[in-house]
Structures are given as structure tokens and as C-alpha cells.
Amino acid sequence: MPSLELAYTVVDAFTKDVFSGNPAAVIVLEQDDNVPDATRQLIGREFNLSETAFVTKTGDADTFGLRWFTPTKEVELCGHATLASSFVLLETATERTITFKTRWAGDLTVSKTATGLLEMKFPAGVPTPAPEDLVRSVKTASAAAFGQENLVQDVAIGPDGPPYWNYIVIHIDDEVDLSKLKVNASAFTAIAPYAVVIVTNAPPPALKTKGIHFVSRVFGPLIGIDEDPVTGSTHSQDDDLPDATRQLIGREFNLSETAFVTKTGDADTFGLRWFTPVAEVEICGHATLASALALLDTAAERTITFKTRWAGDLTVSKTATGLLEMRFPAGVPALAPQDLAGSVKTAAAAAFGQEGLVQDVAVGPDGPPYWNYMIIRIDENVDLANLKVKSSEFTAIAPYLVIIVTNAPPPALKAKGVHFVSRVFCPLAGIDEDPVTGSAHSMLSPYWVKALEIGSQPLTAKQLSARGGDVEVEWLESEKVVKVRGNAVKAATGTLTVPI
């Protein structure tokens, strides 16, 4: 398949420090680069940052095209990604002004000042008071989002037409500590089509004394962004990388997992640790597969070993067919106790928006790495791929971190040899839904071998997230191992700048 290699830069905007501010990916295209919109959207989804900016050269050294994509859609204006794009273009310049031509926001100029600051000129979005019926809807949605009523003091909306027609400002009680307010962003989908929800109030005393005039947080669940970090349009072997830095890197990438592979001096042995955006985890299948691809991409048949903190030694082999085969410890599940099963049914009813779907609940064996894994088998007549799931409801069954929802495949997949399907949710680990979860299949394999009463044999599975993935598994009961097989493809490579 032909491919186009695109250079990219990830920039943290509205900050002087790496791993703070708001990250955006910036891709600079040549004037004649023809990257389809569908491909741009897939790239935005792949980066999974609040925005990916596509800058296009025009032939004029000071004029560029600019478009912005979230993980789910193109947006009409984005401040932090414009700042990030300007940084890429003006990094080595002194004082200079450039112009971005946009589809909906007109011409945006950005100047690099004598002090090095980047100054953007945006169209003003003068808000107007929201009509009473909308205010009532906002108060209802806000009560659900904040978990308490009567915080909303004022509601204002952007002017008609792009780029601010779907922006809304919610001014809450000035006594509320906005930085610590827990917000269920998905509740704001009830006030569609407002896609950019700006919650603001007066600064706390400590910030007011520093000259801060107001504070805000911004939520965009309708465009695939639970919370936007900072929103300009609304205002080797001896590497000793500290854990805190690893965690910041995991947050920066904002992927379900970031894997850190450490050389050991043995060409076939490596250290391996996995970090989500909020925590280190005890095992991760897809990030192990990704790590193996990075190490074995150009190899023929070869086996390597990863030494982990909690999951023991994991071996990965590249087979003659090019498949990567991982040997993971088997997580043979046990039926959940009755009281826990009752709690799961309650949480699942809230998550699925309907009762009576749960058929079976099983939990992982005691001890790492599967002690906080749970399998929820649902009615086989449910179309799992299209089931709407409010994953935050699964936090009610803490400490279970990895919630594996599974059932029998629909007829079309069964005809293709698929034995079972699944989706995986990890809200406690900062992952609403994990696209494809290798470690979950180390429990699903023995579970379905027993459920199907077919004895240990290779099974074909499909994870039905929006991205989707195919997994082959084989439970070797006598060895207490599950073989997990899959393909992997390199999507991007880059260099990370880390302060030391």
C-alpha cells in the first residue's frame, strides 16, 4: 500500500514548561500535498490530542492555510493549535508576522514580538445572554455535570455564525474552587449543539493577588474532548527517567498507554513499564505488542523477553508469517460473589441505560496483574458494537480498574470464525474505552474456553471499539499461559524533548 510520510511536531501551548499547557500536533504540508479530509481526521484520531493542526504552504512565505481536527471532527477555530502552529513556523525568527487563511474564521494574524511572545489576532466573540429556556436546560445539565445544584450564576452564548455559534459560557458561583470541581463532561451533551462549554468564575484569592482576573475550564464532549487543557479561542540502558516524568509523558501523549522500554545489555532482554495518562498499570497487552514491533520491525523470526515489575517475564516472538505472538500469564477468572454481582448489575444498568443485560460476572485471580480485572458477560442478543456505554458509571465498582464487557459474536462475525467479542472500559485509569486490550484477552481466553465447553484451542476474537481490532488467543492451561497473537503497524515516529 502506498504511503505518505508526514513530519509532525507536538507543541505545548500557553506555557513555558514542557508537559503543561495544552498540547497540539502540528503537521506542515507542502502547497501541492493532497491529504484527503478523511486521512486528516484519522491522523487527528491517532494523535488523540485535543487538536491536530494542518498547516499548508501557499507560495507566499508569510501566508499559510490552517485547519484544525479533534479526534472526532474538524473544528471552526482553535486558539492553542494556532499558537502551536505559529511556534513551529516562527521558532527561529525574531520579530515577524504571518497570516493563516482559515475556512470559517477568516484570516488570522500572528506576530512574534520583541519579547518572544506570540500575539494572535482573533475575531471577537462577544457573548449575549442566553434565552430563559436554554438557561433552564443549562442549569439541569450543569447539576448533572457538577453533582450539585444551584452553582450556575449566568449563561451566555456566542454570536450567530462561525466560528463562535456553538460556544457557551457558564459563570458559576465565585466561591467555588473551579480547579478542584469534579465535572462529568458527558452531561453537557444535553445542551447540544453547544460544543464548546466554557465554565468560568472569579479567581481564588491566591491567584487574584497575582493579577489574575478570571479563571476557566473548557469541556467539549460533542467534539471528542472531555476537557481541553488550555483553550486559546476561549481566552537508552543508563537512562534514569524519573517516574514523575514518565507519568507526565503519558499524560502528554494522552494515549491509552505509553510504554517505556529499557535496554539491559542483553540484546534480547528489555525492561518494560506502561503508563496511562493518569497512572502506571501492571500489564498492558497492546503496548507490549507495540513495543515488540518497535524492536522487531526489521527482524525475521526472533524472540525477545520483557522484564516487568508485576507481570513477570513476558516473551514475544515474531513468527514466520510476521505475526507477533505474546506469552502472557493466564488470568483464569472466578465467578464474582453475589453481593459484588449485585453492585455490578446496578452500575451496568446505569452505564448501559437499561437493566437486565448482565448474564454473568467474573473477576480476575488475586494478586497482580489481574486482581482488578472484571468480566461482565451480557445478553448475546445485544449488539455490543453499537451499545452506548457511559463508562464513568463503572467507577462505582472500584477497585476494579479494567471492565471487560463481552458476549457472543453477531451472526456476521460468527460466520467469519469469530468466537467472542468484547469492549473494555477503564475510567479509573483515565481511559473511557480502550481500543484493543491484549491483557484482557488473557482472561477472556480461559473464560470463553469454559463457556463454550470446547477445550483449550486457538480462538479468534474481535474487540468492538470504534477503532476495532482482531486478536488470536490460545490458553495453554498446563503452562498457565495464554498466547496472544496479533498484527501491528508503525503509524508515527518522533523525538520527545524532555527537561533534565
Using one digit for the tens of pLDDT, what is the confidence trace for 403-458? Answer: 999 999 999 999 999 999 999 999 998 889 999 999 999 999 999 999 999 988 89
Give the dihedral sign, CA 392/395/401/406: negative
Q: Residue written as cell 439541569?
A: 140
Instruction: Identify the pLDDT of residue 500.
Output: 58
**pLDDT number for residue 215:** 96
Grouping H, G, I as helix, E, B as strand and the rest as coil, residue 109 is strand
Instruction: Tell me the one-letter amino acid at 237.
Output: Q
- Whether the per-residue pLDDT at 235 is higher than 70: the answer is no
Whose CA is closest to 251, among 234, 229, 222? 229
Is residue 257 part of the annotated active site? The answer reads yes
End-to-end CA distance of the chain: 41
The closest alpha carbon to 124, from 233, 270, 239, 253, belongs to 233
Whose cell is 449563561? That residue is 155
Phi and psi at residue 358, to the nearest 5°:
-75, 125
Tell me the pLDDT tens digit for each residue of 318-333: 988 889 999 999 999 9
Q: What angle do CA 193, 429, 194 make, to 5 degrees?
A: 5
Higher pLDDT, 119 or 498: 119
Q: What is the pLDDT of residues 259-287, one digit of tens each?
A: 999 998 898 999 999 999 999 999 999 99
Name the residue with cell 468484547: 422
Residue 92's pLDDT is 82
| 362 CB-side CA count, 13 A | 25
Average pLDDT over residues 348-368: 97
Alpha-helical (H) ranges within 192-270 are 205-208, 243-253
Q: HSE (CB half, 13 Å, CA atoms) of 281?
A: 31
For position 93, what pLDDT does the model report? 82
| pLDDT score for 270 | 95
* Structural domains of the chain sorted by starting position, each given as residue range(s) with its CATH number in brackets: 9-121 (3.10.310.10), 128-234 (3.10.310.10), 243-328 (3.10.310.10), 334-484 (3.10.310.10)
pLDDT number for residue 293: 92
Q: What is the pLDDT of residue 226?
A: 86
Rounded alpha-carbon distances, angstroms, from residue 433 to 372, 410, 444, 471, 473: 16, 21, 17, 17, 21
Strand locations in 122-185, DSSP E?
A: 128-129, 152-157, 167-172
- pLDDT-based confidence at 395, cuts 50/70/90? very high
Residues ≥6 apart with Cβ < 8 Å to 103: 67, 76
Q: Round to whole Å and give the CA distance between 356 and 141.
A: 27
pLDDT score recorded for residue 169? 98
> What value does the mean pLDDT take over residues 361-373?
95
Q: Which three cell numbers stand for residue 424?
A: 473494555
Cis before 163? omega within 30: yes
Which CA distances in Å does 332 have to 236, 445, 480? 36, 8, 9
Q: With residue 87 as reference, give the H or E element that holds it.
A: helix 79-90
Distance, in Å, from the CA atom of 79 to the CA atom of 230, rounded to the nearest integer, reads: 9
Task: Indicate yes or no: pTM above 0.75.
Answer: no
Cis peptide before 229 (omega within 30 of 0): no
CA 271 centroid distance within chain: 25
The residues that bridge with 281 in the sheet, in sequence order, are 274
E strands present in 233-380: 258-263, 269-275, 280-281, 302-307, 313-318, 324-329, 334-335, 358-363, 373-378
How far apart CA 12 and CA 19 sit, in angstroms, is 7
Q: Which of 420, 403, 414, 401 is nearest to 463 (CA)?
A: 420
For 137-150, the pLDDT digits (tens) are 999 999 999 999 99
Place 336 in a pLDDT band, splitting at 50, 70 and 90: very high
Angstrom distance (rounded) from CA 45 to CA 72: 6
Of 257, 280, 282, 433, catalytic: 257
Rounded Cα distance between 205 and 425, Å, is: 39
Cβ contact 326:485 at 8 Å: yes
Q: State the virtual CA torsion across 451, 454, 459, 461 in degrees, nearest 10.
A: -30
Q: How far is residue 371's CA from residue 365's CA, in Å, rounded to a whole number?
A: 5
